[in-house]
Amino acid sequence: MTGVLDGLRVVELGQVLAGPFAGAIFADLGAEVIKVEKPDGGDDARQMGPAFRHGDALNFHEFNRGKRSVALDLKSPEGVAALHVLLEDADIMLHNLRPGVAETLGIGPDEVTARHPRLIYCAMAAFGHVGPERLRPGYEPLLQAFGGLSSITGEPGGPPVRMGASVVDQGTGMWTVLGALAMLERRHRTGRGGVVNTSLLETALLWAGQKISGYVNTGKVGERHASGHPNLVPYQAFDAADGPVLVCCGNDRLFSRFAAELGHPEWVSDPRFITNRARLSNQGELLPMIAAVMNAVPRGEWLDRLQRIGVPCAPVNAIPEVLAEPQVQAMEMVQPVPGEDFSLVAMPLSFDGERPRMRAGAPRLGADNAALVGAKGD
């Protein structure tokens, strides 16, 4: 399959996650992605974890597959000059350098776009490109905490919890790609590039948007609901005899079917439970009764019975169980990496029915210096 972004050149000055993830999206979609790394050790992610393949950590392979690597000393005039050579034919440059570093090196947005007016310059910050904290560095858990995500995650009455996935870092990479492609469309019309700014904080605020909007407009601070929902009951996980099952009764019709299947059709006519708003007010009485019935039957039986009557439900799977699901296998989200002996998770989208295939593994540090910049990378 020819990549949908075939012919696009992206220069990535990425470290660890947000920047490299944006580059990985571009690479999987067919763009040529040139990863510029420092000569001494390269991207810090190469060492973030035990050596997996070729001396690099597994996370480095995850977020850098399909790229080319050039090692440049951007603290030297020669390194910066070599970078500009790469940018002459580039469509997009992206970086998540520590705030202020690009400007110190002379490769900030003003300098670069003045020299390369068709270039789309994407800068990812921790706390944003304006404001009193704009020069403050940050990492995933810090921005989950600062941006409110940790405060809305976890058990009611429990401590704030970090979300298990790097939703802020990876979300920032996604928004960067979206912004770059939007700017690329503008360039098709105007012939000029521009600057795209994203940040971990903005991403965290967006993911917390419903809770933020709720507080702004009602003055109420959202509560934690574990696997539950603030506005729907029952809409959460219940322990079956051998494992948890998530049940989602998104309206009164579904609740009626659910109650009947549980052997309690009388719940539907009970004034305490007759509507979702009534169930919200009386969930302290209803939920323990549901839990007692669910706990007496194995999970597989509940899944069969509830799916048969059209009540949305799912097992709460551990990762090995996820991978064993026939639906997950049918989607072919886990793909072998060409030229390697391991597999990685692919991009969650398809074009004309076909998922983009990874083109290659992660590059060795500086593997493409000779081909792309020659002695200028030394």
Report pLDDT digits (tens) over 234-266. 999 999 999 999 999 999 999 999 999 999 999
- pTM score, two decimals? 0.92
Q: Mean pLDDT across the stretch 77-97?
A: 97
Q: Is 95 a catalytic residue?
A: no
The class of domain 9-208+334-377 in CATH terms is alpha beta
Q: Where are the domains of the chain?
A: 9-208+334-377, 235-315
pLDDT of residue 226: 87
Q: Among the options 84, 129, 229, 264, which is catalytic? A: 229
The per-residue pLDDT of the chain, averaged, comes to: 95
Distance CA 42, CA 378 (A): 13
How large is the greatest C-alpha to C-alpha distance in the chain, in angstroms?
80
Q: Is the pLDDT of residue 378 over 50?
A: no
- pLDDT at site 375: 54
Confidence of residue 374 (pLDDT cuts 50, 70, 90): confident
* Residue-wise pLDDT tens digits, 146-195: 999 999 999 998 899 999 999 999 999 999 999 999 999 999 999 999 99
Q: Which CATH superfamily is domain 235-315 in?
A: formyl-coa transferase, domain 3 (3.30.1540.10)
